[in-house]
Structure 1
Amino acid sequence: MTTFLTFTILGLVLGAVYAIAASGLVLTYNTSGIFNFAHGAQAMLGAFLYWQLAYGWGWPVWLALVVVLGVVGPAMGGLLHALIMKGLRDTADVTKIVVTVAVLLGMVYLSQWIWHPEEARIVEMFFGSNAKVEFSGVVIRVHEIICLVVAAAIAIGLRLLFTRSRVGVVMRGAVDDPDLLRLNGHNPERVAALSWMMGSTLAVLAGILITPIGGGALQANALTLLVIDAFAAAMFGRLRSIPRTFAGAIVLGMTATYVMAYFPSAWTWTSNFRISLPMIILFVVLIVLPQERLRGAAIRTRERYRVPTVRRAAVWGVALVAVVYLLKLLMVETSVSTFALGMTFAIIALSLTVLTGYAGELNLAPLSFGAVATIVVFHFGVVGTGLAARLDVWGVLLAVLVTAVVGGLVALPALRLRGLYLALATLAFGVFLSNMVLRDTTEHTVFGVTFSLFPNGSLIIPPLRIGPLDLRDGDTFLMTATVLFALIGVGLIALRNSGYGRRLAAMKDSPAASAMLGQNLVKLKLSVFMISAAIAGLGSVLMSSAIGSVASENFNVMAGLALLMLTVAAGIGYVSGALFGGLMSGVGFVIIVATFNDLAAANPDLAPVYQAIGSLSVVSTALLGIGVGKSPSGTVHDVVESYRSLRDARPVLVGGAVLEAALYGLTLAGIMDNWWFAILTACLVMMLPVFGRMVMARVAPDEGRPAPHRTPPELVGVDEPYTEELRRELDRELGLSGHDRGPTPGGRRPVRSGAEEGNVHVVA
């Protein structure tokens, strides 16, 4: 009985902290409509700052709490809303999710910069671990009592706020109908800012309370993921009900402690299961809870993607292979290997292009599917031993097939989920795989066969060999990865221009309209998930082979979130966006940091400056994702549009090409350093459109003026009549060919719809 009471109280305490964190999440979602994936990172940052004040600088605990909870917490939430979140109106779910993911990563990188991860930092319980009371033979620490009392006070306070106060009613109205709220004299943005301040404070409070309970030193990734476990509690209340959220948190906490208490100690996987339990519960809750009915788009999003023709895509694919070959001639062997690793990440990013860019489905754990492929190819695809070990092509194909099947199995229960719920389901799968599978280093015996999924915590993946093609050579590996990327990219463009691709676009634009017109959304979702998982599996096998020895950290959720964020920032609807996002995620920032570290070693006097710039470049990664709110279509779209304006300034483009060729020749001859070539090339790419517009403005002043205001494409025919010029503009926006279909009765040419011979493209 004593054991039961002890673990029940521990479960109540843990559930109380989960409830505090989840209530802050529910609060911000209810008033802004944005699910804050950075909630755990805010808790982590607040806990580190509390440690710095109370332990690093020796401030009194009460003063540190006042500063962190009374000043830093509200300020953090208020700034997030003012600078980022209020600019996310009229954006798609993927944009809102990626921006908050970018904030999460930025806070994690910032904490690792300020507080070095290798230094241990311990936060003690309030009044010390020896301050405790005894109740029915059960010892309860004062810190745990404080957690319970604070959680109860917050639950009662929030309940009264939302049901008995005018402010609470206004908060609920801020997301339900902000226009009606304005008519009643209230400012929805001010209400949303207040809720973000309160939610941030609750997150920081949860981070401070849970750190001593968990024990051990403060770790940025671990603490962030620990608070993310509270997502399961928030989903109990459907992100609406505070009482149900608290009830879910208590169930979550008590279940975790009962597993620790009553599962047999002989079960080697008990500890991993307990850590994975919140994500398992989250996945189950998402599946069990009733979903909203399919509805048409409530808002018109600002994302716009241009789909090239297959012929143009093939030309650009050949150009990519040629450019990589020319760049290879400038690189040393280590740089070639690094570049090849980046190309494998770009292949993984293509899985996001087809899934999210084309179909609008969300996957927050792309590397987790890659981990499945790597495990399969390690066990069934390696032939030979030692230096003679190679990957067999049939083993790689088996790994890709198994990964596609796993993608389908994960998607199968999640087929009824959409938007945010689907994103949370894939996140739950990724965290579960990291905690339950990738940590499984013990041996198991099944039907007389002894095996270990992840033996010794690392897997040795040798290079692939297909006949005379041996990827042990770095140059061969780089060119093979580039050709594969080009082939898969052209294949995806062909898929997007096919009837199947138009059905995916219709599902993305309006699931309700797509279903009404007879499309089978279940088959579409299942097939696109399997295609995406297969591409991620192939890229991950090549990535593991490029690294040689991979550990569980190579597939963690944070790395997958970074890949998603950078791909969306570049342009999730473009193959070139996958190229940029993969290269930057895989090797881009690693190269930048290594460069500044080398400069610091070579110049000891300026070492702090170079190291600070290197760390700042990593933190600035988050700025790319945050910028998606301002440019939802991505960087690639903006660059293409800027160069599209130079179609009438061909001499400028020719001059830029000649200048780039001259820079390459100087570098190849050894007259110019590779870094200067990279810097000058980047400057040329960014400045050429600016210079071109300046030249055009001098030659034709009218062309240098800003373009007149145009009606948004979705409002053509509503706010403005059809014209021949608008017809061509709509064809360009929709990625349709411009062939004529005969005049209409009024003499005008018709605007092509996307619905042809059963291939539906609904534009929301």
Structure 2
Amino acid sequence: MSTFLTYTILGLVLGSVYSIAASGLVLTYNTSGIFNFAHGAQAMFGTFLYWHVTERWGWPVWLALIVVVGLAGPAMGAALHAVIMRGLRGTADVTKIIVTVAVLLGTVYLAQWIWNPDEAHTVGMFFGAGAKITVGGVVVRYHEIVCLAAAVAIAAGLRVLFTRSRTGVVMRGSVDDPDLLRRNGHDPERAAMLSWALGSTLAVLAGVLIVPISGGGLDANALTLLVIDAFAAAMFGRLRSIPRTFAGAMVLGLAANYVLAYLPSAGTFTGNLRVSLPMIILFTVLVVLPQDRLRGAAVRTRERYRVPAVRAAAVWAAALVAAVYLYSLLLPESGVTTFALGMTFAIIALSLTVLTGYAGELNLAPLAFGAVATVVAFHFGVEGTGLAARMNIQGVLLAVVAAALVGGLVALPALRLRGLYLALATMAFGEFLSNMVLRDTTEHHLFGTTFTLFPDGSLVVPPLKVGPLDLRDGTTFLMTATVLFALIAVGLAALRNGGYGRRLAAMKDSPAASAMLGQNLVRLKLSVFMISAAIAGLGGVLMSSATGTVAQENFSFTGSLALLMLVVVAGIGYLSGALVGGLMAGVGSAVLVSTFGDLALANEGMATIYTALGHLVLVGTALVGMGVGRNPSGFVHDIIDGYRAMRDAKPVLYGAGALGAVLYVLALTDVIGTWTFALIALCAAMLLPVVGRSYLAERRTRPVPLELAGVDEPYTDELRARLDRELGLTAALEKGGARVTA
């Protein structure tokens, strides 16, 4: 009985903190229509700030709470709304999700920059760990009593705010009908800003309360994910009901502690299950709870994508293969290996293009399907040992099929979900896989066979060998990954231009209209999920092989979010967006950060500056993601439009091609370095549309030669008048008119 009471009280305390965090989520979603994936990161940053003022500056707890929870928390939320969130009206669900994901990643990177993750940061309980009372033989600390009282007070206060106050009605109206709210003399943006300020305050309070309960140690990634567990509690109330959210939080906290109390402690299963339990509950709640009806009309958003013709896609695919080969001749062996890793990420990114860009379905865990394929390929496709180990083609094919089947199994119960709910379901699957499967290092006995899913917490994945094709050679690996990307991209272009692709586009625009026209949405969703998972699985096996040794961190939830963010920033509806986003995720930031790290080690006097530049690269990447709301179609869209307008600026294109050829020859002969060539070529490619527009503008101001009048530009009244003057027709007409008058 004592054990039951102890774990019950601990569960209620944990549930109370989940309730505070989840209430902040419900508050912001009800008043802005944006689900804040950065809620956990806000809690983490506020908690680090609380540690800083109490431990480093020696402030008393009461003053730190006033400054951090009462001032910094609301200021953080209000600033987020004013600078970023208010610009997300009229954007698709994926854009809203990606912006908050970018805030999450940027906040984590900023916290790791300010507070060294290698140093210990510990937050103590209010009143100290010795301040406690005994209830029924169970010790209850004052800090835990504060958690319970704060959760009950906040739940009751928010209930009254939403149902009994004018301010609460205005808050809810700011997302339901902002135009009607304006006609009644209220400012919906001010109401939304107030809700974001309150939501951020609750997030920071939850972070300050939960860290001492969970052990007191501060870690940016761990604390962010810990507060994300409150998503399950928020979904109990379907992001609307505060009482149901409170009840769900209590169920979540009690279940987590009862698992520790009554399940066997031997092995890793119980600990992994406790960590995974919130995501299991989240997925179950999403599937069981009733969903909204299909939309009766399409929701018009600001995203615009152009679909390439199959022939054009094939031409550009061939050009990509040629360009990658020529560039590989300039790279050292290490550079070729890194480039190959980036191409494997680009293949995984193609899974997001077909699923989200074409079909409008969301997947927040693409790397999870790569993890499934990697585990299957490792156990069924590796031949030999040590340096002689190779991956066979049968293992790769089996891994792709397994990833597709798992994608179908995940999609099957989630077929009735859409938008945000579907995104949360895939996130729950990714976290469950990461915590339960990729942490499983124990031996299992099945049908007389002994195996371990993740022996020693890592997998050594050798390169593929098919006949004479051996991917141990870096250049061969790079070109194979590039050719596979090109083939899949052309296949997706053909799919999108066919009848199946048009059905996907119709489902994305209006599920209700698509169903009314006789489309089987269940079959359509299931098939596109399986196609996407198969592509992600292939890319995951190649990525693992390029890395050599992979662990749980290689398939982390934050890694999936970073990849998705960069693909959306580039343009998730474009095949070229998948290429650029994948390369940025697999190569871009990692190369720059490692370069600045090497420079810091080599130059002690400049170490601080180079280290800061490395952190700035990561934070800057997140800042780019935060700005996607202003350009939801991605920057590839702008680049393509810029080059499309240069069809009449052929001299500029020919000049750029000649410059590129000269630079390549100089780099090939070691006159200039590879980095110099890459930077000049990148800058030239970005500035070329600007130069082309200047050339066309100057050309339009020049008089067109008479022999080209009406050829290079259409006839206008000004052009006709000029032709009349040059040919003397105006004078003849005037004389003829004078004679007629006489």
Taking structure 2 as the reference length, the TM-score comes to 0.94
Which residue does the alignment assign to 2:226?
226
Which residue does the alignment assign to 1:533?
533
- Quote how far apart the aligned CAs of 1:643 are: 1.4
Distance 2:256 2:145 in 1: 19
Cα distance per residue 1:393-436 (max 9 Å; x no partner): 00110010011000000000000000000000000000011111
- Quote how far apart the aligned CAs of 1:3 are: 1.2
Is this contact kept in 1: 2:299–2:509, CA < 8 A?
A: no
Distance 1:78 1:583 in 2: 34
- SS of residue matched to 1:120: coil
Distance 1:337 1:288 in 2: 46
Is this contact kept in 1: 2:132–2:140, CA < 8 A?
A: yes
Which residue does the alignment assign to 1:292?
292
Cα distance per residue 1:498-528 (max 9 Å; x no partner): 1001000100011011000000000000000
- SS of residue matched to 1:414: coil
Which residue does the alignment assign to 2:672?
672
- Quote how far apart the aligned CAs of 1:61 are: 1.5
Which residue does the alignment assign to 2:73?
73
The Cα RMSD (Å) is: 1.2
Gaps of 5+ in 1: 704-764
Which residue does the alignment assign to 2:125?
125
Paired letter, 1:536: A
Cα distance per residue 1:680-703 (max 9 Å; x no partner): 112111211111111211110499
Establish whether residue 580 from structure 1 lines up as the match of residue 613 from structure 2: no
Gaps of 5+ in 2: 704-742
Distance 1:562 1:539 in 2: 16
Over 6 Å off, 4+ runs:
none
Which residue does the alignment assign to 1:512?
512
Is this contact kept in 1: 2:566–2:625, CA < 8 A?
A: yes
Which residue does the alignment assign to 1:375?
375
Which residue does the alignment assign to 1:453?
453
- SS of residue matched to 1:404: helix
Which residue does the alignment assign to 2:257?
257
Structure 1 vs Structure 2: percent identity of aligned residues?
A: 74
Distance 1:619 1:433 in 2: 28
How do 1:89-100 residues align onto structure 2 when only pairs under 5 Å count? 89-100=89-100
- Quote how far apart the aligned CAs of 1:603 are: 2.9
- SS of residue matched to 2:30: helix
Which residue does the alignment assign to 1:708?
none
Which residue does the alignment assign to 1:442?
442
Distance 1:604 1:359 in 2: 51
Distance 1:305 1:164 in 2: 45
Distance 2:494 2:103 in 1: 35
Paired letter, 2:17: V
Distance 1:144 1:237 in 2: 24
Paired letter, 2:35: F
- Quote how far apart the aligned CAs of 1:267 are: 5.9
Establish whether residue 498 from structure 1 lines up as the match of residue 495 from structure 2: no
- Quote how far apart the aligned CAs of 1:620 are: 0.8
Paired letter, 1:325: Y
- SS of residue matched to 1:459: strand
- Quote how far apart the aligned CAs of 1:656 are: 1.2
- Quote how far apart the aligned CAs of 1:661 are: 1.4
Which residue does the alignment assign to 1:710?
none
Which residue does the alignment assign to 1:3?
3
Higher mean displacement: 227-236 or 109-118 = 109-118
Higher mean displacement: 402-411 or 647-656 = 647-656
Distance 2:202 2:451 in 1: 45
- Quote how far apart the aligned CAs of 1:65 are: 1.2
Distance 1:507 1:320 in 2: 31
- Quote how far apart the aligned CAs of 1:115 are: 1.3
- SS of residue matched to 1:645: helix
How do 1:42-61 residues align onto structure 2 when only pairs under 5 Å count? 42-61=42-61
Distance 1:603 1:7 in 2: 54
How do 1:243-282 residues align onto structure 2 when only pairs under 5 Å count? 243-266=243-266, 268-282=268-282
Q: Which protein is bigger by CA-based radius of gyration?
A: 2
- Quote how far apart the aligned CAs of 1:614 are: 1.4
Distance 1:164 1:379 in 2: 60
Paired letter, 1:219: D
Which residue does the alignment assign to 2:638?
638
Which residue does the alignment assign to 1:217?
217
How do 1:297-312 residues align onto structure 2 when only pairs under 5 Å count? 297=297, 299-312=299-312
Distance 2:307 2:172 in 1: 40
Which residue does the alignment assign to 1:594?
594
How do 1:352-363 residues align onto structure 2 when only pairs under 5 Å count? 352-363=352-363
Paired letter, 2:75: A
Which residue does the alignment assign to 2:737?
none
- SS of residue matched to 2:134: strand
Distance 1:347 1:321 in 2: 14
Which residue does the alignment assign to 1:185?
185
Higher mean displacement: 621-630 or 85-94 = 621-630
Cα distance per residue 1:331-368 (max 9 Å; x no partner): 00000000001100100111101100110000000000
Distance 2:102 2:37 in 1: 9
- Quote how far apart the aligned CAs of 1:627 are: 1.9
- Quote how far apart the aligned CAs of 1:10 are: 0.6
Which residue does the alignment assign to 1:346?
346
Distance 2:615 2:267 in 1: 42
Establish whether residue 686 from structure 1 lines up as the match of residue 657 from structure 2: no
Distance 2:307 2:395 in 1: 34
Paired letter, 1:324: V
- Quote how far apart the aligned CAs of 1:217 are: 1.8
Which residue does the alignment assign to 2:364?
364
- Quote how far apart the aligned CAs of 1:598 are: 2.5
Which residue does the alignment assign to 1:19?
19
Which residue does the alignment assign to 2:411?
411
Cα distance per residue 1:566-601 (max 9 Å; x no partner): 001101011111111111111210111122222223
Establish whether residue 400 from structure 1 lines up as the match of residue 400 from structure 2: yes
- Quote how far apart the aligned CAs of 1:328 are: 0.5
- SS of residue matched to 1:646: helix
Distance 2:551 2:480 in 1: 24
Paired letter, 2:651: P
Aligned residues: 703
Establish whether residue 113 from structure 1 lines up as the match of residue 108 from structure 2: no
Which residue does the alignment assign to 1:486?
486
Establish whether residue 660 from structure 1 lines up as the match of residue 660 from structure 2: yes
Which residue does the alignment assign to 2:208?
208
- SS of residue matched to 1:189: helix
Paired letter, 1:310: V
Distance 2:66 2:657 in 1: 60
Distance 2:477 2:345 in 1: 13
- Quote how far apart the aligned CAs of 1:216 are: 4.7
- SS of residue matched to 1:622: helix
- SS of residue matched to 1:700: helix
Establish whether residue 424 from structure 1 lines up as the match of residue 424 from structure 2: yes
Is this contact kept in 1: 2:161–2:167, CA < 8 A?
A: yes
Distance 2:497 2:488 in 1: 14
